[in-house]
């Protein structure tokens, strides 16, 4: 079942490289350690087709940008104010454009929103699926987001935005050049810039200042760009190329010919680079998935396992300290009670005393298990990482709680598991070589096709 699901999601890459076996091994390792549930897979965060997302504030021209790219003038509604509160997934269709509800995405495993309602049953109400006959959409999907602004930061919107950031192969973050004070949007800069710069896949983000034609009325459009660059630098984004574009079909008239020529030249160059990355997303996606395998394997060994070891030590310490205090208190009360009832116990048979001792032992075991469970739940509530929480939960079950004194390592973490992770990491190099050979010919050798 897991192999089939992985194959489906990686099908477009099968002709170049076969990542199915490596992803399947990575899933088994994580499931054994408890970082994934048995029914989960790391490919759950992979769309069957490469995915490009367009995010930004509500007036940044996202919908107009998508319409222009696809050559579909009225596919997405646009305007100065927010015109749509849904995330729109756009895919290819031979027929005319169609619009389908969020259920079409929640119930289709080929899309990256499969079973999204399991986390929140209302999430599919913020989703919709559209199709259109643009040739540029073949083999890929686009996502148009609702305006990202402070008054729209509902829990569902942020949750879907984070999910989209994780599963996308390319993320275009658009800002509005008509807004002269970029510093007035700290929440937008926080979620779309500050919280993305430390991601291992940060290279998939492109930051774009759109509608640059509106700056032509200023004495120096470069001042507008500098203001935005300063705002992004304050949010942590430094030394990164900042694209500047506008829609030629909807541009305002620019009176100064020098400014017009300068803006057009920059816009055409940047737009060409943006479109090229969008058109070549299959290649970028392939390398990203290989990097995802490497990053995940390293995260398991160098981050999740050490953090889990620390949490288990805390759990073990808390249990022993709590038990010591409770058992000392119980022992004191028991000693007083036995002294008070000494005559009664001296007249009982060995069988009665044996039953009493057995009952006391069972009671102490039950008390130990409850202390272990309560302590584990206390620690679990403070864990923000879902994978780490799953691993901790697996390591603090009844069986592990019963023999807590012997727990020195997380469940299944041993030399054999280290070798399995090392084997996955070694396969990364082979996958990169296979991919390089698919798109380049470093040796300069003639192929069979060249000889025909």
Q: Give the tens place of pLDDT for each residue, 15-29.
A: 546 788 899 999 999
Mean of the per-residue pLDDT values of the chain: 81
3-state secondary structure the chain: CHHHHHHHHHHHHCCCCCCHHHHHHHHHHHHHHCCCCCCCCHHHHCCCCCEEEEEECCCCCHHHHHHHHHCCCCCCCCCCCCCCCCEEEEEECCCCCEEEECHHHHCCCCCCCCCHHHCCCCHHHHEEEEEECCHHHCCCEEEECCCCCHHHCCHHHHHHHHHHHHHCCEEEEEEECCCCCHHHCHHHHHHHHHCCCCCCCHHHEEEEEECHHHHHHCCCHHHHHHHHHHHHHHCCCCCCCEEECCCHHHCCCCCCHHHHHHHHHHHHHHHHHHHHHHHCHHHHHHHHHHHHHHHHHHHHHHHHHHHHHHHHHHHHHHHHHHHHHHHHHHHHHHHHHHHHCHHHHHCCCHHHHHHHHHHHHHHHHHHHHHHHHHHHHHHHCCCCCHHHHHHHHHHCCHHHHHCHHHCCCCCCCCHHHHHHHHHHHHHHHHHHHHHHHHHCCCCCCCCCCCCC
Predicted confidence band of residue 348 (pLDDT cuts 50, 70, 90): low
Over residues 364-390, the pLDDT tens digits come to 888 888 888 999 999 999 999 999 999
Domain span(s) for CATH 3.40.50.300 in the chain: 48-279
Give tens-digit pLDDT for 74-120: 777 665 444 567 889 999 988 777 888 888 888 887 888 888 887 77
pLDDT at 27 (0 to 100):
94
- Select the CATH number that applies to the domain covering 48-279 from these four: 3.40.50.2000, 3.10.20.30, 3.40.50.300, 3.40.50.2300: 3.40.50.300
Of 106-115, 152-161, 422-431, least confident by mean pLDDT is: 152-161
Better-predicted residue by pLDDT, 103 or 6? 103
Q: Is the pLDDT of residue 12 over 60?
A: no
The answer to whether residue 418 scores a pLDDT higher than 90 is yes
- Mean pLDDT over 157-164 rounds to 84
């Amino acid at each position: 079942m897991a192999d089939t699901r992985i194959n489906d999601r990686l099908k477009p890459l099968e002709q170049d490289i076969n990542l199915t076996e490596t992803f399947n091994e990575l899933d088994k390792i994580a499931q054994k350690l408890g970082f994934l549930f048995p029914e989960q897979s790391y490919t759950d965060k992979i769309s069957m087709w490469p995915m490009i997302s367009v995010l930004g504030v509500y007036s940044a021209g996202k919908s107009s940008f998508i319409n222009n790219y696809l050559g579909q003038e009225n596919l997405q509604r646009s305007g100065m104010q927010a015109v749509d509160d849904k995330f729109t997934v756009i895919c290819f269709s031979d027929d005319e454009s169609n619009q389908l509800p969020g259920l079409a995405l929640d119930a289709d495993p080929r899309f990256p929103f499969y079973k999204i309602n399991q986390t929140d049953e209302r999430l599919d109400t913020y989703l919709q699926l559209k199709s259109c006959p643009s040739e540029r959409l073949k083999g890929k999907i686009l996502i148009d987001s609702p305006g990202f602004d402070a008054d729209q930061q509902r829990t569902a919107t942020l949750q879907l935005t984070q999910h989209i950031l994780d599963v996308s192969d390319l993320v275009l973050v658009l800002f509005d050049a008509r807004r002269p004070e970029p510093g007035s949007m700290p929440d937008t800069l926080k979620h779309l810039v500050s919280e993305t710069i430390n991601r291992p896949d940060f290279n998939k983000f492109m930051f774009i200042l759109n509608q640059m034609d509106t700056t032509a009325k200023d004495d120096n459009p470069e001042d507008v760009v500098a203001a935005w660059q300063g705002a992004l630098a304050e949010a942590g984004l430094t030394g990164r190329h900042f694209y500047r574009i506008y829609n030629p079909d909807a541009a305002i008239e620019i009176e100064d010919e020098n400014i017009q020529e300068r803006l057009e030249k920059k816009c055409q160059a940047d737009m060409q680079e943006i479109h090229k990355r969008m058109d070549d997303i299959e290649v970028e996606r392939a390398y990203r998935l290989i990097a995802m395998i490497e990053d995940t394997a390293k995260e398991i060994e160098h981050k999740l396992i050490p953090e889990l070891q620390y949490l288990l030590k805390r759990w073990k310490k808390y249990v022993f300290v709590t038990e010591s205090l409770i058992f000392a208190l119980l022992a004191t009360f028991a000693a007083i009670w036995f002294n008070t009832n000494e005559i009664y116990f001296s007249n009982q048979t060995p069988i009665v005393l044996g039953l009493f001792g057995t009952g006391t032992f069972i009671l102490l075991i039950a008390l130990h298990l409850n202390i272990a469970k309560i302590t584990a739940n206390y620690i679990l509530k403070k864990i923000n990482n879902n994978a780490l929480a799953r691993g901790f939960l697996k390591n603090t079950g009844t069986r592990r709680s019963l023999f807590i004194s012997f727990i020195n390592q997380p469940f299944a973490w041993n030399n054999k598991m280290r070798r399995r992770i090392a084997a996955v990491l070694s396969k990364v190099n082979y996958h990169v070589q296979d991919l390089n050979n698919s798109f380049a010919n470093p040796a300069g050798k003639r192929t069979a096709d060249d000889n025909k």
